[in-house]
Structure 1
Amino acid sequence: MTMTGRTWAAAFGLTLMTAACGASDTDEGGEAAPIKRESVPQNDFTPAEIEATIDRLVAEINENSIQPMQLTVLMKSLAGYFAPIATGANRAMGELGAAGRVTGNVLGPTDASAEHMKAMADQTRQIEQVVTDGAEGLAITPFGEGNVDAIDAAVAKGIPVVTLDVDLTTSKRSIYVGINNTSAGTTAGETLLPMLPRPPGTVILHGTEDPTWADGVNRTQAAQGVLVNAGYDVLVQPIDYLHEAEDVEALKAVIEAADPPVVGLIGVFSVSYRCAMAADAAGLSDLPVVAFDFEPQTVGYMRQGRIKATHVQRQYYAGYLGPYIVYGIKTIGLDATREILARQLVDGTRFDLGVDVVPAEKVDDFTAFLDSIGADQ
């Protein structure tokens, strides 16, 4: 395969070259070997409903004779936030490969430092390349709208495409797997609410109002709506991902200038631990802070009691579901696949993974859960 742009690699070196239909994969009647899922330890954070949905999908696939498929998972990155997605995708590809159903691999850049537009262009070329190389199904964590034409071209060739983590509603992708950002933002707002004194008061929301980032705006506005409806003034401080010192200083300035005074802070993206940094810098270390995602800095502040709770996306399950849904579309059809996924589908096309609400006193339990599924972040 010709790689373009940045250096790309198979996730964790687990390139799957399983024979599509070997003698050991079928019985004399031509039926496929059953898919055997790796067991998931039961834990307070195990998503029982999602696990049950996956079991139903696998059971239905197992009822069908083998249909070999070349499937590729394209990742934004193999590291950091995206590492659990790659872990889940590799596990699913391994299970499908062991049953003689899928060949392919999980690919992503080893260097994720490229500027966004260049990274998106590189990924577009990678989509085109894997299609040229014979991919019959594709799961992808896309960069954005610049990927739409390549995805639509793949779909036009009869290749089912499932988007993971970031949706592209303007594309012809079959299904999106990730969080419903409106629901996630609502949940975050509801988590902070009981920690606040009664109104009046100001809540600082570390979010975005960038109209080109629909998912981010939806999450921000949903959290804002919960707090405004409860009677609080909400000031949205736009996030500055790349410049931490400036971001914290801007948050501190807003805290100090707020009228009525600030009674709490909420961040709805991965660097929301900066809310705690800003409150401390303003000399208000008693303000309740609610965060998003499970960055090491967030965990550190949770252990100190400075961040009261965080909301963690289920990246592992996004990666794990991707190959199974793509293969399900091939073997049992899109409508049948959607019917099985219906309990978690929004608008018939978006699989809502939900979020784990992790209070500070449960941080060790949640860490143990992530360890148990190999989804360290």
Structure 2
Amino acid sequence: MTGRCWMTALGLMVMTAACAAEDATQSDKPTEEIALIKRDRTPITEFTPRELEETVDNLVSAINQSGLEPVQMVILLKHLSTFFEPIATGANRAMGELEAVGNVLGPSTQTNMDSGTESQTLQNQQIANAIEDGAQGIGVSPYDSFNEVSIRNAVAEGLHVVTFDTDLKDSGRALYVGAIQEEAGKLGAETLIKLLPKGPGTVVVHGDTSTQWYDGSQRTFGVLDALGKTGYTTQVVQAVFINGQENFDLDQLKTLILNADPPVVGMIGVFNISYRCVMAAEATERLDIPIVTFDFDPKTAEYMQKKRIKATIVQRQYYEGYLVPYILYGIQHIGLEATKQILGPLMVDEHRVNIGVDVVPADKFQAYNDFLDQIGSIQ
């Protein structure tokens, strides 16, 4: 019995020593190896924004060295369909990689942004709910000044707020993420100018020059500024987004094509409803007019396949959604200034992160469509 007891004690001593050795080995490992953020790799194609991808990698590296803790955040979209669907895809993917606590929220379908305040009121309520629920960060695509007070309230409560798609520069938000709209407009005009015949001629701009929609007007003014230096006459047709009133746009565009003096030699639409330019040109049997559009609406894609749209300027919606949670996570873990320093290659000023746009010519339609499919960003 005594011998067995000693054998048992010896066995326990050996097991204890082994466990102690294992614990020592574990403690020698860097703490960050326990729960490092690991990104899903983006396929490398001619359309992959490599500088943006590298910047996110650098941000992840800095966060991984800071000692990871969960971050509660909410991402608020105008809606979850059509244009915003790739944004939701990117945001959900990033939040999954970060294991962030929170949701991507928005109405399930697009509403009439100009016909009422239901969606705007809902977004204000969602911001108030985020404050009450103890969120540390909010990413929001605001309805211009309608949501400014709510964002200010969130900032006053200590929440980090990042806007995307639409900016509210006077709201107290920490950063804006998206395209720089005036530059995007100029790029669209420059793309069209290369396709125009020698002047004189009229270029139709399907856009928005009102002051109510800042980003929309900035993109339109960018187009007009670039075209104004060429000697072509420009005529603006106000874009209408209210469901059921698409024919108003078409009637205005058709009338201008038929009556413009000098004749119409080109068209550019600066929003995701740009495909209406093609519908108007076809209705007036002016298939010779070169047309450049914005975004990658399914109808736009259809006309690109038919070569009726010569090129489209595509905002990187997926990357808007993907980058915002990483920025909010970075601000919480390493601070705003350190985050901005890492984002430096993408920043155009102290508060705006430019993720750029893609110029997609018609002959690259399938290649670009394949890229969007690979990242899960098909609208």
Q: TM (normalized to structure 2)? A: 0.89
Match in the other structure for 1:216: 216
Q: Once the 2 structures are TM-superposed, how far is the Cα of residue 116 of structure 1 from its aligned partner? A: 4.3
- 2:372 equivalent among 365, 370, 373: 370
8 Å CA contact 2:237–2:249 kept in 1: the answer is no
Give how far 1:130 is off. Answer: 1.6
Q: In 1, Cα distance between the equivalents of 2:251 and 2:75? A: 39
Deviation at 1:30, TM superposition (A): 5.1
Letter matched to residue 316 of structure 1: Y
Could you tell me how far apart the structure 2 residues matched to 1:93 and 1:107 are? Answer: 13
Q: Which segments of 5 or more consecutive residues in structure 1 lack a partner in the other structure?
A: 1-25
Between the aligned partners of 1:286 and 1:256, the Cα distance in structure 2 is 14
Within the candidate set 308, 324, 327, 2:326 is matched to 324
Structure 2 spans left out of the alignment, 5+ residues: 1-25
Q: Report the Cα offset of residue 144 of structure 1.
A: 2.1
Q: What is the Cα-based RMSD across aligned positions, in Å?
A: 1.5
Equivalent position amino acid for 1:39 in 2: R
Structure 1 residue 106 and structure 2 residue 104: aligned?
yes
Residues 342 and 348, structure 1, Cα contact 8 Å, conserved in 2: no
- Rounded to whole Å, the distance in 2 between the matches of 1:68 and 1:293 is 35
Aligned length: 348
User: Does residue 149 of the first structure (1) align with residue 149 of the second (2)?
Assistant: yes
- Report how far residue 111 of structure 1 moved: 3.9
The residue identity in structure 1 corresponding to 2:217 is: V
Q: Which structure has more helix as a fraction of its residues?
A: 2
Indicate if the aligned counterparts of 1:302 and 1:309 stay in contact, CA closer than 8 A.
yes
CA shift for structure 1 position 68: 2.5
What is the deviation of 1:112?
3.3
**Cα distance in 2, alignment partners of residues 103 and 184 from structure 1:** 34
Q: CA deviation at 1:351?
A: 0.8
| Letter aligned with residue 239 of structure 1 | A
- State how 1:119-138 maps to structure 2 within 5 Å: 119-138=119-138
Q: Deviations over 1:186-240 (max 9, x none)?
A: 1000000110011211100101111111111111111111112011111111112
Letter in 2 for 1:157: E
Query: SS of the counterpart of 1:307?
Result: coil
Partner SS, residue 161 of structure 1: strand
Secondary structure of 2:310's partner? strand
1: distance between equivalents of 2:36 and 2:255? 60
Match of 1:205 in 2: 205
Aligned to 1:280: 282
Q: In 2, are the aligned partners of 1:289 and 1:308 still within 8 Å (CA)?
A: yes
Q: Secondary structure at the residue paired with 2:272?
A: coil
Task: Name the counterpart of 2:296.
Answer: 294
Residue identity in the other structure for 1:109:
P
How far residue 67 of structure 1 moved from its aligned partner, in angstroms, is 2.9
Q: How does 1:229-268 map to 2 (within 5 A)?
A: 229-242=229-242, 243-268=245-270
Q: CA deviation at 1:282?
A: 1.5
Query: Does the 8 A contact of 2:93 with 2:322 survive in 1?
Result: yes
| Offset of residue 164 of structure 1 | 1.4
Whether contact under 8 Å (2:144, 2:214) holds in the other structure is no
Percent identical? 48
Q: State the shift of 1:261 in Å.
A: 0.9
CA contact (8 A) 1:268 1:292 kept: yes
Contact 1:120 1:144 in 2 (8 A): no
Relative distance call for 1:43 and 1:116 in structure 2 (3 A) is farther
Decide which moves more: 77-86 or 240-249. 240-249
Seen in structure 2, the aligned counterparts of structure 1 residues 342 and 355 have a Cα distance that, compared at 3 Å, is: same
Name segments (4+ residues, structure 1) moved above 6 Å: 26-29
Partner of 1:45: 47
Larger Rg: 2
Structure 2 Cα separation of the partners of residues 290 and 147 of structure 1: 32
Local SS of the residue matching 2:42: coil
Distance in structure 1 (CA, Å) of the matches to 2:152 and 2:61? 30
User: 2: CA distance between counterparts of 1:211 and 1:164?
Assistant: 19
Match of 1:184 in 2: 184
Q: Alpha-carbon deviation of 1:61?
A: 0.6
